[in-house]
């Protein structure tokens, strides 16, 4: 199949993000800022030309769903309004392939920051885990801000944010007894969520940090609960 003009960038950034997500939080100056059950959220305080661009890394363990199921829900437009609470509007502006879409999203205004929108490609991929033959394959979704001639930045009411996000999931299967079916009690999904968001226009550092501190734990908890709910009555998709 002919590859899209963005393909080299999509491939490079997806593999870079996979590598970055797999780095242990022991390395580098990660600061634990939220904990909820098995969820641990870390951030690094970083600024780029006076703007807060704190990298975030969240690690979570969710029972009863596979990495394929979680990544598919995160990637697919039809589920997004079910878990993305801050979404005001979402459009798929380009259908590059069955595993790569371009989204335009406007998020609800978070006082006192002005309203934001994001234009990004989103790519889902299964990654063979050559190291650990025991574990199932890894699944990754990578979201990366991009340009589009029909959707220039900062022409309407919204400030355009620039994001690089990845969701990396690994399925762990607890082998059932002899010749018994694997059921949802036997599967666990190890989730790593990484994001670096440049808020675009200026917003006070204290305001942004408060928004992220409040919104990210809510977002990941809501998203993973949505996945459990969506999958519980369906056949397991590895
Ligand atoms: C001032 C900038 C605020 C701000 C920046 C960024 C984002 C944001 C966009 C996309 C993604 S995602 O992971 O790609 C899932 C697809 O929607 C996550 C977060 C949201 C807000 C706003 C709405 C607040 C928020 C912050 C953190 C998590 C969720 N919502």
pLDDT digits (tens, 9 = 90+) for 152-186: 999 989 999 999 999 999 999 998 889 899 999 99
Q: How far is the CA of 79 from the centre of ligand 1 (A)?
A: 16
Give the number of the atom of ligand 1 that is nearest the alpha carbon of residue 113: 1
Q: How far is the CA of 208 from the centre of ligand 1 (A)?
A: 11
Q: Is the pLDDT of residue 130 over 80?
A: no
3 state DSSP class of 177: coil
How confident is the model at residue 134, as a pLDDT?
62
How confident is the model at residue 165, as a pLDDT?
98
* pTM across the whole model: 0.95
pLDDT band at 69 (very low <50, low <70, confident <90, very high): very high
Q: How far is the CA of 55 from the centre of ligand 1 (A)?
A: 13
Q: How far is the CA of 184 from the centre of ligand 1 (A)?
A: 30
Q: How far is the CA of 96 from the centre of ligand 1 (A)?
A: 23
How confident is the model at residue 184, as a pLDDT?
97
Q: Is the pLDDT of residue 66 over 90?
A: yes
Q: Is 38 in the pocket of ligand 1 (CB under 6 A)?
A: no
How confident is the model at residue 176, as a pLDDT?
87
More confident residue, 20 or 48: 20
Average pLDDT over residues 77-103: 97
pLDDT tens column, 207-220: 999 999 999 999 99
Give the number of the atom of ligand 1 that is nearest the alpha carbon of residue 167: 13
Percent of the chain past pLDDT 70, that is, above it, reads 96
More confident residue, 122 or 26: 122
More confident residue, 28 or 118: 118
Q: Is 161 in the pocket of ligand 1 (CB under 6 A)?
A: yes
Core vs surface per residue 149-167: b (16+ CB within 10 A) or e: eebebeeeebbbbbbbbbb
CA atoms of 158 and 235, how far apart (whole Å): 41
Average pLDDT over residues 187-205: 93
Determine the distance from the C-alpha atom of residue 9 to the mean position of all C-alpha atoms in its chain, rounded to a whole number. Answer: 18
Q: Is the pLDDT of residue 203 over 90?
A: no
Q: Is 216 in the pocket of ligand 1 (CB under 6 A)?
A: yes
Q: Is the ipTM of this complex over 0.90?
A: yes
Average pLDDT over residues 215-229: 97
Task: State how beta strands 159-160 and 116-127 pair.
Answer: parallel
- Output the average pLDDT for the chain: 94
Q: How far is the CA of 165 from the centre of ligand 1 (A)?
A: 10
Percent of the chain past pLDDT 90, that is, above it, reads 84
Q: How far is CA 57 from CA 18, 139, 154, 181, 205, in A?
A: 12, 17, 28, 35, 19
Q: How far is CA 158 from CA 112, 119, 154, in A?
A: 14, 12, 6
Q: Is 116 in the pocket of ligand 1 (CB under 6 A)?
A: yes
pLDDT band at 26 (very low <50, low <70, confident <90, very high): confident
Q: Is 88 in the pocket of ligand 1 (CB under 6 A)?
A: no
Q: Is the pLDDT of residue 135 over 90?
A: no
Task: State how beta strands 87-97 and 116-127 pair.
Answer: unpaired
In 3D space, the residue among 37, 14, 33 whose CA is nearest the CA of residue 216 turns out to be 33
């Amino acid at each position: 199949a002919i590859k899209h003009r963005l393909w080299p960038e999509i491939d490079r950034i997806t593999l870079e993000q996979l590598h970055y997500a797999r780095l242990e939080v022991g390395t580098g100056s990660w600061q634990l800022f939220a904990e909820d059950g098995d969820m641990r959220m870390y951030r690094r305080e970083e600024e780029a030309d006076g703007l807060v661009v704190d990298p975030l890394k969240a690690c979570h363990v969710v029972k009863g769903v596979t990495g394929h199921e979680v990544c598919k829900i995160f990637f697919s437009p039809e589920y997004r309004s079910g878990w993305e609470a801050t979404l005001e509007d979402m459009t798929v502006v380009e259908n590059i392939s069955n595993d790569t879409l371009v989204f335009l999203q406007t998020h609800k205004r978070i006082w006192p920051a002005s309203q934001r929108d994001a234009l990004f490609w989103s790519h889902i991929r299964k990654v063979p885990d050559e190291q650990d033959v025991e574990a199932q394959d890894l699944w990754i979704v990578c979201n990366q801000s991009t340009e589009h001639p029909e959707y220039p930045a900062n022409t309407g009411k919204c400030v355009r944010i620039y994001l690089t996000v990845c969701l990396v999931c690994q399925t762990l299967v607890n082998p059932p007894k002899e010749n018994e079916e694997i059921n949802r009690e036997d599967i666990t999904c190890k989730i790593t969520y990484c994001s670096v968001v440049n808020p675009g226009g200026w917003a006070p550092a204290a305001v942004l940090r408060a928004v992220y501190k409040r919104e990210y734990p809510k977002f990941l908890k809501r998203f993973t609960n949505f996945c459990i709910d969506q999958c519980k009555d369906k056949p397991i998709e590895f």
